[in-house]
Amino acid sequence: MQTIQEIYNQALEDILKIIPDNVYFFRQASNDGILRSYSITPKDFRKSLENKYGDFEKFTKNFTTHLLGQKNIVAAFASTPTSFADAWNMKSDELIAEDVISLTKSGGHFQFNQIPYGPNKSGSSLYQNNYAKGLVHSKGTGIIKGFRHKTGGVYEADSLNEMGIFTYATPNNSAGMIDYRFAEYFSKRVRLPYIFLVTQWFKYSTNYEDLNNWIYMTGVAKVCSTASHPHDPIKLQLVSKDEAIKILNDFLEVIQTKGSFRVRPPFPEHLRLGWSYSKIKQDKDKRKKIIDYAVKHRLRCPGDKCKNVFFKELKLSEIHIGHRISQNWNSQNSGVADVHHPYNLYLSCNKCNISLSEKYPTEIDELINKIGTIGDWLMSGLLDEEDK
Q: Which residues contact Zn ion by CB under 5 A?
A: 301, 303, 306, 349, 352
Q: Residue 304 CB, nearest distance to Zn ion (Å)?
A: 7
Task: Output phi, psi for 209, to 5 deg.
Answer: -125, 75
**Nearest CB to Zn ion, comparing residues 131 and 310:** 310
Tell me whether residue 292 or residue 318 sits nearer to Zn ion (CB atom): 318
Q: How far is the CB of 355 from Zn ion (least distance, A)?
A: 9
Q: How far is the CB of 361 from Zn ion (least distance, A)?
A: 19
Q: CA-CA distances (angstroms) from residue 119 to 61, 123, 203, 238?
A: 28, 11, 27, 36
Q: Which amino acid is at 206?
A: T
With respect to Zn ion, which residue has the nearer C-beta, 154 or 354? 354
With H, G, I as helix, E, B as strand and everything else as coil, classify residue 200.
strand
267 vs 360, beta carbon nearer Zn ion:
360
User: Residue 357 CB, nearest distance to Zn ion (Å)?
Assistant: 12
By beta-carbon proximity to Zn ion, the closer residue of 279 and 312 is: 312
Which residue, 138 or 353, is less far from Zn ion as judged by CB?
353
Please classify residue 91 by burial: count the beta carbons closer than 10 Å to its beta carbon, then call 0-12 exposed, 13-18 middle and 19+ buried. Answer: exposed
**Gap between the Cα atoms of 205 and 144, Å rounded:** 31
Q: How far is the CB of 305 from Zn ion (least distance, A)?
A: 5
Question: Is 221 or 314 the residue whose CB approaches Zn ion more closely?
Answer: 314
Alpha helical stretches, state H, the chain: 4-18, 42-53, 56-77, 81-89, 97-105, 174-190, 241-256, 269-274, 277-282, 284-296, 327-332, 353-357, 362-371, 374-379, 382-387
User: 199 and 221 in contact (C-beta within 8 Å)?
Assistant: no
Least distance (Å) from Zn ion to the CB of residue 353? 8
Find the shortest distance in angstroms from Cβ 309 to Zn ion. 6
Cβ-proximal residues to 360 (8 Å cutoff; 6+ apart), any chain: 324, 325, 326, 329
Chain centre to alpha carbon of residue 302: 31
Hey, which residues does 263 pair with through a beta bridge?
A: none
